[in-house]
Structure 1
Amino acid sequence: MKPIQILATAMLTCTMAGCHNSGKINYPEAPQDGTVDTIFGMKVSDIYRPLENDTAPATLAWVEAENKVTQDYLSQIPFRKAIAERLTHLNNYVKRGVPSRENDGKYYYSENDGLKNQAVIYRTDDPLSSEREEFLDPNSLSDDGTVALTGLSQSKDGKYTAYTISRSGSDWTEIYVMDTATKQLLPDHIEWAKFSGAEWDGDGFYYSAYPRPEEGKEFSNANENHQIYYHKIGTPQSDDTLVFSDPANPLHFHGAQVAGKNPVMFVSVGGQGVGNALKMRSNGGWVTVAPDQDYETSVIDVIDGKIYLLTAFGADRRRVMVADVANPGRENWRELIPEGDGVLKGVQLSGKDLYLTYEKDASDHVSIYSLDGKKKSDVKLPGIGSVGFSTSSKYPEDVFYSLSSFTSPATVYKFNPATGESSKVFQPEIEGVNLDDYVTEQVFFTSKDGTKVPMFLTYKKGMERNGKNPVYLYGYGGFNVSLTPGFSANRMLMLENGVMYAQTNLRGGSEYGEAWHEAGTKMKKQNVFDDFISAAEYLVNEGWTSSDYLTIEGGSNGGLLVGATVNQRPDLFKVAFPRVGVMDMMRYHLFTIGWNWASDYGTSADSPEMAKYLLGYSPLHTVRNDGTPYPAIMVTTADHDDRVVPAHSFKYAAALQAADTGDAPKLIRIDSKAGHGAGKPMAKVIEEYADIYSFMFYNLGITPGSVTGDSKK
C-alpha cells in the first residue's frame, strides 16, 4: 500500500503547486578570481578559474554546498521515491551477454540476475545448458560496486586470463592475472594503464600506460607520453620492458595488437587526427603500414602471410583491404571488399569467413564474405536494431550474436553458418511490462541548410498529435559516434507515462560515413546544433509536442550540444540535462586527454578564426544574462570523471546560476566515486535516473502515474 500512498500524495501536491519550482533558489557563491585571458587579441573572461582545481578547499566546499541545494530541491519532489522504486522494479530482470568461446575451449558470458551493481562472468562447457560456474564476480572487488570490470583477455594457450578494472569510473586501468583453470589470482598487478587491455604474446602481454601522475592531480592533469610495455608473467611491473615510445609526439595514443597464428605485432598511433597510423614490428624494428592519422585503419587478422585491414582510406564508408606481411605499406594494399551502400562498422573472422556489420540508416545489417572477397550471404536477423557478434577463428561453428532495439532488450542468438538459421539462446523478460504496447518509427527532418537528418521516435501506441505530449529528445553529434537503436529499462518509465523518446542522428556522427562526420566538425560544428534545433522544431511542427513539454539531454560531447542549443534557443525547451559536458571550448584541450578532441573541435590556439568560432558557441561563454527565460536545467558530473573533467560543469553551472535567466532552477548534481559513465554500479544508475526523471516530470508539471506499477495516470 505504501507506493499507492506516495502516488496519491504526489497527485494532490502537483495539483496544488503546479509541479514546478515557483521561487528563486539561493545558490552558493562560487570561488572566483577575475581571470581574463587574451587569446589572439580577444579578451576572454574566465572568472571561475579556481573551480578547475578540484581538490582545493574552496572548490570542495562549493561542491558540498551545491549538492545540498540540489538534494534539498529534489527531496521536495513528492514522487521521487516512488520513481526510484519503479526504476528498481524495471531494472530487476536477468540480462545476459553474448557467449564467447575462448582459447581454453570453454564458453564465457556475463550475466546480471537483476540488481547486482556489476555483471558476473560465468564459464560453461555448453552455452545452451543451465550448468555453469562463476568465473569472476566484480561485485566482490569492492563494497559499493564502484570497481568495474572493463575487459577480459586469455593467453593464446588458455593458461592465463588477464582482467582489467576501473575504480570509481576513472579511465585509469589496472590489470590483474588469474590462473584460468583454478581461478587463482596471481601476484601480477599493473597500474596507471589507460585505454588499454592485455594483448597476449607468449608468456606475457603488452599494455599501454602513462607515467605515474602527480599525486593529487590524477584526474585533472594532461596525460602525455603514452607508452607500450611488455609484462612477463611472474615478474613485477618495475621489470616490464618498454616496447614502444615516441617522446617527440607526447600527445599520441599507442595501442598494441598481436594477430595471426605466427604472431605479428602492430601498433596503432592516434590522438592527433580523425584516424590512426599503423606500424608493424619486423626484424626488431618498425615498418609503416598506414603512414598518417587521416583515416581509420585496423587489423582484422593475419592469415597465411596476409594482413586483412578495415580502413576508411579511399572509402568514406570503409572497405576491406589486404596486404602482404613482407610488403605491408599502403601503396601495396589491394582492395578485397569495396565500399558499399552502408557504413562498414566492423569485421570479424570466423574460420575462413568474414562477418561484416554494416550500418544503414542507423540500424545494423550483417553480410558474410569468404577470404577471397566473394559475398556468400546475408545474415537474416530476426528484427531491426543493433547487433553484436561473437566469432572465433579457432572455432568457426561458434557464432553468437545479440540483437536489441528501443522496445526489445538484448536477446542472444546462436547462428548456424551451414544453414543460415538463427536460434534463440536467451531472451530477457521484464515482469509486468508489455513491450508490444510501444512502437518505433524512423522519420527524416530537414535541417537549416536543407540536409535530411534521420530520427527515431518511440512512444506508446495510440499517442495523439495534440501538441501536449512530453518528448525527451536525445542527441550526440560528434567523433564518428553513431546512435543506433538500443534498449533501456530506465527509459521504459518515461514511455509508460506517455513520454515520447526521440533519438536523432546528427551530423558529426558516423551514420553516413566520413563526409557526415566531417560536416559536424571544427568550423562546421554549428551544423550539429542546427540539426538538433531542427529536430525539436520538427517535433513541434508535426504536432507531437510544444516547447512547454520538450526535454533535451546529451552527455559528454552531447552535453556540449545541450549547453550550446539552450543558449541559442532557450525558448524552445522546457527542461535540459547537459551531462558530463565539454562546456569550456577555450580550455578543454588543457586537461587530461582533452587535446585528443582537437580533430573534431579545433582549439583556441589554432588560429584567430578558430578561437573566435569556438568562443561563439562555447556554453560557458555564451550564457545569456539579460533576463531571457531559460528552461529548468540540471547539470550532471562526477568527481572521478577524468575524461571530461568536472571543472567544465562546475564553471558552467556557476555561470548559469549567476546570470539573469529567469526563475527556473539551474542545479548541478555532482556524483561521488563515479566517472564519465562507463561501469557505473546499478545502484548509482538508478539513483541518478530517479533524480533526472523526477526533475523532468516536476518541471513539466506532470505526475508520472505508473510509479506504483499502476498504468493509470
Structure 2
Amino acid sequence: MRAIAFLTVLTLPLAAAAQEAGTPYPQSRTVDVSDDYHGTSVADPYRWLEDDVRESADVAAWVQAESEFTNAFLDSIGGREAIAGRMTALWDFDAYSLAEKKGGRIFFRKRSEGEDQSVLYVMDEAGAEPRELIDPNEWSDDGTIALAEIKPSPDGSQLLYTIQDGGTDWRTAKVLDVETGEVMSDTVEWIKFSGLDWAPDGSGFYYSRYPAPEEGAKFQNLNYDHKVYFHELGDGQADDTLIYDRPEEPDVSLSAEISDDGEWIVVTASKGTDEAYEIMIRRVGQPDAEFFKLFGGFKDEFALIGSANNRLYFRTNRGAPRGKIIAVVPNGEQTVSAEIVPESENTLIDASVVGDRIIAEYLIDAKSAALVYAMDGVWEGQVDLPGLGEASGFNGKYGDPETFYAFQSFRRPETIYSYNVETGESEELFAPDLPYDPDDYVIEQVFYESKDGAEIPMFIARRADIELDEPRPALLYGYGGFNISYTSRFFPQFLTWMDMGGVFANANIRGGGEYGKEWHDAGRLDNKQNVFDDFIAAGEYLIAEGITTSEQLGVHGRSNGGLLVGAVVNQRPDLMAVGLPTVGVMDMLRFNQFTAGRFWTDDYGDPGVADDFETLYAYSPYHNIDADADYPAILATTADTDDRVVPGHTFKYIARLQAAQGGDIPADGQPVLARIETRAGHGSGKPKSKLIEEYSDQLAFLAHFTGLEVPETEDAGGDMEESN
C-alpha cells in the first residue's frame, strides 16, 4: 500500500496581506422592494439578485466581482495547493458503486484514478471479466456532464440511463443495447424527480416528467403538473402514452414502478417532502382499467419493497413511527393487509424481498444493522457488517437469493459485498485499494444533552495518534431535516481534515430520521428551533469537553444544512470561528417561489400562513443578520446551475452580510465571502476535479481561521511520517 508523507508545514498568519481588514467588498446595489406578510412589512433590498445569472447582465457582473474578490482572498491565505495535493493522494483509489443484477448480468460503476466521472461496467455473468458500457468522461471536456440514473431491463439486455448536464436536476433518458453497446434512437427529455422502470417484457419504460419550461426559465420556474408516461422503444417522445396524472392537483408529484412479479403498476403520489404518500395500483396489461387507490390520505409513508405469491410488501410508518413491514393481498377493490415485521425500538429505514427472505435495514443509535426475516416475519438472524458505519443496498427479488450491499464509514469508502440469504454469507465483491490505512483514524460516538434535555448522538473522528487532551481545531457538521439521516459515511474532505490534524464531528440532530418520525417531527415546522439548539449544544459540548475552543471551531452544512449554519451563525456568532454554509436555503420567506422549493413547506411551513410566517421570519438567515454582531469568517458556497436551491439564496445572504459589516472586511479580519461554482448544480454529478477544488478552498479557509497548520504533501513510497 502506498503511503503519503508529510514534508514541511506551511504556517499561515491570520493577517493576510492581499485582502486584509478594511478592504472594501464589491458593491451590491439595493432596491426599494418590500412585501406584506400578514400585516408585517418585510424589506428585500437584494431581490434583484434572485434573477438567473444567465439571463441578467447585472447579476452576472455581481457574480464575477464576488468571485474575483473571493479568489483573491483565498490566494492571499495560501494552503489550497497543499490541501488539494493531500486530498488527491488520499482519494487516489478506484471507487466502486453498488452492484445490480438483471438477467444474470451484473452492472456496476467504477471511477478510476484521474477520472472525473464514474464509468459504467457490466459482467455478463458472475466472475466474468468486466467490460465498459458507458464512459461519461468522454461527454465533455470539463467533466460536467454526468451519467445519472441507470435501470437495466428485466433480462439485462438493455439499459435505460439518464444524462445530467452541468449539475441540473433535469434529466434526458437514453437506451443502450447491452450486448452491442449501441445507443438506440430513443430520447426522452424533461425528466425530473422521476422513478424509472421497465415494462416486464422490456418493450418500453415508465417515467415521470414535467412540461417543458419556457425559454430562459429552466433553472428557476416552479415545477407543476407531474405526469407518468410509458415510452415504447422505437417511438418518438411525442407518441408516449400518458399513464397517470392528477390535473386537478398540479402540485402532486408522481412516480411509477412495476412489482417484481410483473403483475402490477404501482404509482406513488406525494405533495411534498414529508414522505406522506398515496399508493395507486393497476394490473399490467390492462390499459383501460382504472387505477385503484391502495392507500390514501397523504398521511403516512409507504414504500414497495417486493412482491411474492400475489402479495405486495410495503415498508410503512402507519401506526408505527419507527417503521414496520406489511403485506397486502390486492383483489380488485378489496385488499387484505397483514403485519409481517412489527415496529421495534430501532428505526427501519429500508427493506427488500430477496430470495425467500426479507432483509430489513435499521438504524440503531445512528449505526447500521441489517436483519433477516422469513417471509412470514420470523426473525432468522442478521448480516455480519464490517463495523461501525453505514450499510446500504440489499436490493433483490423473490426467487433469487443473491443481493449486493455497500458498507462505508468516515474512514473507509464504499466496499461492495454480495450476500446470499440462503447461506447467510457475505463475500467481498469490489474493494478499493486504499493509499492509506483506515486504522490510522478512529471514530467514537458520544451522546450530549440539548437545550430541552433531549439526548443527541454525535460521531467524533480523528487521527489515531491525536489525543483529545488539549483543544484542537475542529469541524462540526450537521443537517437536521427532511427525515434524512447522516450516519458514518465517507467524505474525502473530512478525511483530509482529520489527516491534517483536525477533529471532525457529525451531530445527528433532530429533524433527521435517526429515530423515526418523532425525531423528524421534533425538528420541523414550529419545532425547527430544536434543530438549531441541538447543533449549538453540539458545539458547546465540544468546547466544554476541551476538544476545541470557540476560536478553533468551524461549522459546516449543505442545503438544509446550509440553512442550519446560517441560522446558528446568526443566533450564536460567538460560538465558532468559521461558518461554511453550502448551497443553503437562506431566504425562508421566498424559498417556495423557485423550482422544487414548494415541496419543502412540509418541513419548513408556508410563509403564506400567518403562524408559519412568524416561525420562519424568526430564524431566516437572510432576514436575521445583525449589523452589530461580530460574525465569524464565512465562506458560503453555491453554483450557477443549482436548480434545487437556487443561487439567489446565497447571493442575497452574502450581499446583506457584507453590507452589515459596513461594506469592508472588518477590523478582526474575518470576511464574509461567496464561492460561486460554474456549470455545477446542487451537488450530484459534480466532477471529481471540481469537488477537490471546492473542498480545498473550504479547508484552506477553515484552517486559516481556526489556526490549523497546513502540511505540505507529496506522494511518497515510505511509511507515514509525522509533520515537524
Query: 1:386 and 2:390 equivalent?
Result: yes
After superposition, residues 187-206 of structure 1 pair within 5 angstroms as: 187-201=185-199, 202=201, 203-206=203-206
- What residue is the counterpart of 1:712 in the other structure? 723
1:276-307: per-residue Cα shift (whole Å, max 9, x none)? 11111256101111102221101122322211
> Is residue 2:696 matched to residue 1:698?
no
- Which of 283, 286, 292 is the equivalent residue of 1:287? 292
Matched, 1:372 2:376: yes
Summarize the Cα distance change of 1:706–1:491 in structure 2 as closer, same or farther, 3 Å threshold. farther
For 2:66, the equivalent position in structure 1 comes to 66
- Aligned mates of 1:367, 1:74 — CA distance in 2: 48
2:606 and 2:275 map into 1 onto residues whose CA distance is 15
**CA offset digits 1:148-206 (Å, max 9, x no partner):** 11111122233321101211110001100111211100110011110124311141111
1:604 aligns to 2:616 (yes or no)? no
* Cα separation, 1, equivalents of 2:307 and 2:438: 44
Match of 1:396? 400
> How much does 1:316 deviate?
0.3
* Structure 1: distance between partners of 2:126 and 2:337: 39
In the alignment, is residue 668 of structure 1 matched against residue 674 of structure 2? yes
- Cα deviation, 1:78-127, whole Å, max 9, x if unaligned, reads 32212112222121111122332212x21111111123111111111455
Name the CA distance, whole Å, in 2 between partners of 1:655 and 1:467.
Answer: 37
**Which is further off, 482-491 or 543-552?**
482-491
For residue 29 of structure 1, report the CA deviation from its aligned partner.
1.8
Shift of 1:451: 0.3
Other-structure match for 2:718: none
Change (3 A) 1:487 1:128: farther
Moved more, 464-473 or 248-257: 464-473
Preserved CA contact (<8 Å) 1:146 1:680: yes
Partner Cα distance (1:509, 1:419) in 2 = 35
1:422 positional shift:
2.3
Supply the AA of the counterpart residue of 1:657. Q
Call closer, same or farther: CA 1:149–1:390 in 2, change over 3 Å. Answer: farther
Is the contact made by 1:118 and 1:145 (CA closer than 8 Å) also made in structure 2?
yes
Deviation at 1:19, TM superposition (A): 9.5
Distance 2:712 2:102 in 1: 44
1:426 paired residue number? 430
Aligned counterpart for 1:300 among listed residues 291, 299, 305: 305
CA displacement 1:667-705 (0-9 Å, x = unmatched): 001100000001110010011011111111122233212
Q: Note the 1:565-604 alignment, pairs <5 A.
A: 565-604=568-607
Q: Which amino acid aligns with 2:80?
A: R
Please, what is the CA RMSD of the aligned residues?
2.1
Aligned to 1:481: 484
Match of 1:309 in 2: 314
Q: Deviation string for 1:333-365 (max 9, x for gaps)? A: 221110112111111121211111111111111
- Provide Cα deviations, 1:34-81, integer angstroms capped at 9, x if missing partner: 101111000111010111112211111101111110111111223221
Match of residue 237 from structure 1 = 237
* Contact 1:19/1:702, CA 8 A, preserved across alignment: no
Give per-residue Cα distances to partners, 1:417-446, cap 9 Å, x unaligned: 343232323332332x23212111100000
1:549 to 540, 543, 552: 552
Q: 1:371 to 1:267 in 2, by over 3 A?
A: same
> In the alignment, is the contact (CA less than 8 A) between 1:33 and 1:47 conserved in 2?
yes
391-400 or 452-461: bigger deviation: 391-400
| Alignment partners' CA distance in 2, 1:380 and 1:5 | 37
Q: Counterparts of 1:63 and 1:106 in 2: how far apart (Å)?
A: 48
1:168-187 equivalences under 5 Å are 168-187=166-185
- d(CA) in 1 for partners of 2:433, 2:229: 45
Q: CA shift at 1:466, angstroms?
A: 4.8
Q: Tell me the SS of whatever aligns to 1:520.
A: coil
Distance 1:168 1:442, change over 3 A: same
2:471 alignment counterpart: 468
SS in structure 2 at match of 1:260: coil
Name the SS of the counterpart of 1:123 in structure 2: strand
- Paired amino acid for 2:136: P
Mapped partners of 1:444, 1:86: distance in 2:
32
Give the conservation status (yes or no) of the 8 Å contact 2:18–2:72.
Answer: no
Please show how residues 433-472 of structure 1 align to structure 2 within 5 Å.
433-472=436-475
- Cα shift at 1:575: 0.6
Q: Distance in 2 between matches of 1:334 and 1:394?
A: 18
C-alpha distance after superposition, 1:611-634 (max 9, x if no partner): 1111110000001111x2110000
Change (3 A) 1:76 1:516: same
- Point out where structure 1 has 5 or more consecutive residues left out of the alignment: none
Match of 1:162 among 155, 160, 163: 160
Please say if residues 343 and 512 of structure 1, whose CA atoms lie closer than 8 Å, have aligned partners that are also in contact: yes
- Corresponding residue number in structure 2 for 1:144: 142
SS, match of residue 684 in structure 1:
helix
Contact kept, 8 Å, 2:475 with 2:554, in 1: the verdict is yes
Q: Residue 278 of structure 2 corresponds to which residue in structure 1?
A: 277
Tell me the TM-score normalized by structure 2: 0.93
Secondary structure in structure 1 of the residue aligned to 2:246:
coil
Question: Which string of whole-angstrom CA distances, capped at 9 and with x for unpartnered residues, describes residues 208-229 of structure 1?
Answer: 1010101111001111111111
Offset of residue 20 of structure 1:
11
Looking at structure 2, the residues matched to 699 and 19 of structure 1 have their Cα atoms a distance apart, in angstroms, of: 15
Q: Is the 8 A contact 2:355 2:421 kept in 1?
A: no
* The one of 362, 365, 376 aligned to 1:361: 365
Are 2:518 and 1:521 aligned?
Answer: no
Shift of 1:17: 4.5
Equivalent AA in structure 1 for residue 404 of structure 2: F
* 2:110 aligned partner: 111
Q: Which moved more, 1:77-86 or 1:395-404?
A: 395-404
Indicate how the Cα distance of structure 1 residues 563 and 20 shifts in structure 2: closer, same or farther if over 3 A, else same.
farther
For 1:317 and 1:328, the matched residues in 2 are separated by 29
Contact 2:322 2:346 (C-alpha < 8 Å) held by counterparts: yes
Distance 1:443 1:69 in 2: 40
By how many angstroms is 1:271 displaced? 2.2
Give the Cα separation in 1 of the matches to 2:299 and 2:82. 51
- In the TM superposition, residue 21 of structure 1 has moved relative to its aligned partner by 6.2
* Preserved CA contact (<8 Å) 1:6 1:82: no
Match of 1:407 in 2: 411
In structure 2, how many angstroms separate the alpha carbons of the residues matched to 1:397 and 1:355?
A: 11
Aligned to 1:211: 211
* Structure 2 equivalent of residue 132 of structure 1: 130
Residue 43 of structure 1: aligned partner = 41
2:195–2:257 CA contact under 8 A, matched in 1: no
Supply the distance in 1 between the matched residues of 2:320 and 2:395 (Cα, whole angstroms): 26
Structure 1 residues 290 and 7 mapped into 2: Cα distance closer, same or farther (>3 Å)? Answer: same
After superposition, give the CA deviation of every residue in 1:251-278 in whole Å (9 maximum; x if it has no partner): 1110011113243101111124441111
Q: What is the Cα deviation at residue 462 of structure 1?
A: 4.3
Letter in 2 for 1:349: V
SS state at 1:398 partner: strand
Deviation at residue 327 of structure 1 after TM alignment: 5.2
Alpha-carbon distance in 2 for matches of 1:373, 1:33:
63
Greater length-normalized contact order (CA 8 Å, ≥ 6 residues apart): 2
Q: For 1:218-229, what aligned pairs fall within 5 Å after superposition?
A: 218-229=218-229
Counterparts of 2:651 and 2:671 in 1: how far apart (Å)? 16
Q: Conserved in 1, the CA contact under 8 Å of 2:477 and 2:557?
A: yes
Deviates more, 1:398-407 or 1:360-369: 398-407
Q: 1:500 to 1:465 in 2, by over 3 A?
A: same
Task: Find the aligned partners of 2:463 and 2:127 in 1 and give their Cα distance.
Answer: 34
For residues 80 and 101 of structure 1, what CA distance do their matches in structure 2 show? 42
The count of residues paired between Structure 1 and Structure 2 equals 702
Cα distance 1:326–1:591, how it changes in 2: closer, same or farther (>3 A)? Answer: same
Q: Which runs of 5+ in 2 are unaligned?
A: 716-720
